[in-house]
Each structure stands twice: as C-alpha cells, then as structure tokens.
C-alpha cells in the first residue's frame, strides 16, 4: 500500500501529542488536529494545545484557525480535515486528538447536512418547549425521531433546524461513506489510577504555566459571557476569578471534571473495535506503534 491515514486517539492526558510527534518525526509526516477547542486562537494552556516548539518540529494543521467568537461546525471541520488528508496522503498523515465526533466524521465518512446554526429559528423552537418540538419532529421525520431521545433538546432542535432549512428530514441526509484509503487507529490508554495521576499533574502544570493569567486576558478581551469560557477548565477558573471559589478549590474542580470527561471519552472510543489499543506507560510504546504501522502499511522498517 502506498497511502493511508494514521489516527492517534484516546482520552485526555494519555500522551497523544507526545506519541504523535514521535511517529510523525519517524516517518516524516504531518499532524492534523482532531480537537474541538484547539481550533480556537488564544485558548492555549487550558486546551493543552501543542506548544510552539512542538509545532515547529512537525507541521501542524487545524490549530488556531478560528477566532474565539466564531463557531466551527462539524461539517466545516470535516471538509477542512478531508482536504488536508488528501493533500498529504502520500506521506501518511496523522489525525490526532480526543474529539471522538471529529475522528468519526473522517474515518466513517459521516454524511453531515450542510446547515449552519439558525439562532433565530432555534429561539422560536425553544419557546415552544421540548415536548412540542419532539412531537413536531415525530410528524416530519418519524424515522429520525426514533434515534433521538424525547428529552434530547440539542438533537431535536438540530433535526428541526435541518428540516426547516432544507425541506428534507435529517434522517434522509445522514449516513456514512467511509474513505477508500486504508486507516489504522491507534488508541492510547492506561489504568484509571495512572490516568488520574496524569490529570492531577497536567492540571498543576497548567496553573504553573499561567492558566489563570490566560483566562484573565480572555475575559478582558471578550467578556465573561464568551461561550468557550464556559468549557472544561476555563469555567472553573472563571469561578475563581469571580470569587466563588479559591484557586485550590478551582484546581480540584478541574481535576474532578477532567476525570469525568476522560471517562466519557474512554467509553466513546472503546465502542469502536477497529481501534488498536496501546498502554501509554509501556516502555517500548513508540517502537510497538511503529511496528503496527509497518504491519499495516509496510511503511517503516
């Protein structure tokens, strides 16, 4: 085989960035980020964005491509990532990150309705209440409604939004069209105890690197109401800056919420049997992963 995609995935703090850099340097490739927050400029420490020194080692893509006030849709991400993969297919690009839906959109070739968020329409639908919205969905898209829980407001609103914009039920616009090129998915994991240690250390490192100062600058520039400041890590530091908790308390909250997030990520990725799992604490991790890549693509000796 002369072309293919290498995916490096797994929960937060499992060492995806470090492994991806090792692999990319070994095979002279590039890294395409699959992280839903690293696409935004100025959100650096709290998203564990690769440092500038790391980015200088290997070309990185889909990092710092949006302003914090913008919204990058899944469809937009998929299009950008697919184009980059196609452009770099001859050097076996690496798709690296923990945003499961981003990765799934590529490896499964998800068909995503190209409908941008319709804020005014959403507000009108929300005013009707979830029960009535779901009943409307059952009428216009009985097939699609069966895949959405009656209490799932986010997916209900999205399904209605797609229908009212396109006139076609979302269930008729979804599906999968997997790419023709071969893909190997490398999953990183470790024991819960080890992952907890890593999360604790990472959180301490973020604080030491100036996470509080980063959030202060973001608040000063964009205000407290910026949606991204309500995400993991940033929300807890906001609580500290607003005097609701002490810094040690905010740090404990970040650790707790990161552990919960990592658990959800592990559950997501474990649902895909095609992922080849490796213990991130293994002494020969890089060698073992390169060997697996070699067996798949005949790429390295």
pLDDT in tens, 172-192: 988 899 999 999 999 999 999
Task: Answer yes or no: is pLDDT of 297 > 90.
Answer: no
Strand order in the sheet with 31-33: 60-61, 31-33, 94-96, 5-10, 183-189, 275-279
Place of tokens 């520039």: 221
Closest CA to 44 of 266, 166, 215: 215
Cα 29 to Cα 185: distance, rounded to the nearest angstrom: 16
pLDDT at 81 over 90: yes
What would the pLDDT profile of 112-159 be if each residue is shown by its tens digit?
888 888 889 999 999 999 999 999 999 999 999 999 999 999 899 999
Residue 6 to residue 27: CA distance in whole angstroms: 11
At 276-285, the pLDDT tens digits run 999 999 999 9
Domains and CATH numbers, the chain: 5-110+177-297 (3.40.50.300), 119-172 (1.10.20.140)
Q: What is the DSSP string of 227-264?
A: GGGGSTTHHHHHHHHTTSS-HHHHHHHHHHHHHHHHHH
d(CA 100, CA 37) in angstroms, rounded, equals 13
| Mean of pLDDT over the chain | 94
pLDDT tens digit sequence for 41-51: 999 999 999 99
Six-digit token string for 53: 């020194």
Q: What tokens does 110 get? A: 């998800």
Which residues fall within 8 angstroms of residue 231, CB to CB, at 6 or more apart? 37
Q: Whose structure tokens read 């452009």?
A: 87
For residue 138, give every residue at least 6 positions away whose Cβ sits within 8 Å of its Cβ, in sequence order, or none. Answer: 145
Name the residue among 213, 262, 248 with its Cα closest to residue 234.
Answer: 213
Dihedral in degrees, nearest 10, Cα atoms 145, 36, 9, 155: -10
pTM: 0.89
Give backbone dihedrals phi and psi of 80, rounded to 5 degrees, phi first: -65, -45
- Say if residues 32 and 95 touch (Cβ distance below 8 Å): yes
CA 101 to chain centre: 7
Please tell me the predicted confidence (pLDDT) of residue 2.
57
Would you say residue 104 has pLDDT above 70? yes
User: Is the CB of residue 46 less than 8 Å from the CB of residue 214?
Assistant: yes
Q: Two tokens at 121? A: 């329409």
Q: 175-234, pLDDT tens digit by residue?
A: 899 999 999 999 999 999 999 999 999 999 999 999 999 999 999 999 999 999 999 999
């Amino acid at each position: 085989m002369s072309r293919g995609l290498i995916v490096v995935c797994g929960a937060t703090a499992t060492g995806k960035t470090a492994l991806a850099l090792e692999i990319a340097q070994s095979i002279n490739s590039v890294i395409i980020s699959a992280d839903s927050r690293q696409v935004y400029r100025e959100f650096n420490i709290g998203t564990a964005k690769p440092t500038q020194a790391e980015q200088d080692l290997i070309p990185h893509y889909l990092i710092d491509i949006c302003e914090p006030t913008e919204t990058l849709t899944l469809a937009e991400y998929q299009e950008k990532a697919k184009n980059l993969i196609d452009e770099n297919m001859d050097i076996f690009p690496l798709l690296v990150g923990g945003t499961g839906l981003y990765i799934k959109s590529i490896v499964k070739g998800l068909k995503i309705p190209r409908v941008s968020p319709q804020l005014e329409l959403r507000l009108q639908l929300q005013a009707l209440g979830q029960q009535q919205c779901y009943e409307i969905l059952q009428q216009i898209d009985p097939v699609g409604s069966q895949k959405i829980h009656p209490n799932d407001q986010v997916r209900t609103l999205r399904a209605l939004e797609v229908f009212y914009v396109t006139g076609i039920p979302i269930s008729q616009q979804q599906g999968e069209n997997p790419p023709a090129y071969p893909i190997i998915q490398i999953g990183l994991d470790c024991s819960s105890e080890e992952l907890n240690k890593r999360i604790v250390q990472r959180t301490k490192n973020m604080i030491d690197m100036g996470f509080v100062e980063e959030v202060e600058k973001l608040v000063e520039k964009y205000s407290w109401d910026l949606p991204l400041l309500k995400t993991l890590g940033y929300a807890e530091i906001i609580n500290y800056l607003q005097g609701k908790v002490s810094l040690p308390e905010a740090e404990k909250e970040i650790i707790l919420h990161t552990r919960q997030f990592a658990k959800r990520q592990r559950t997501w990725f474990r649902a895909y049997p095609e992922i080849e799992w490796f213990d991130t604490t293994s002494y020969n991790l890089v060698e073992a992963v390169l060997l697996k890549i070699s067996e798949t693509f005949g790429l390295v000796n």
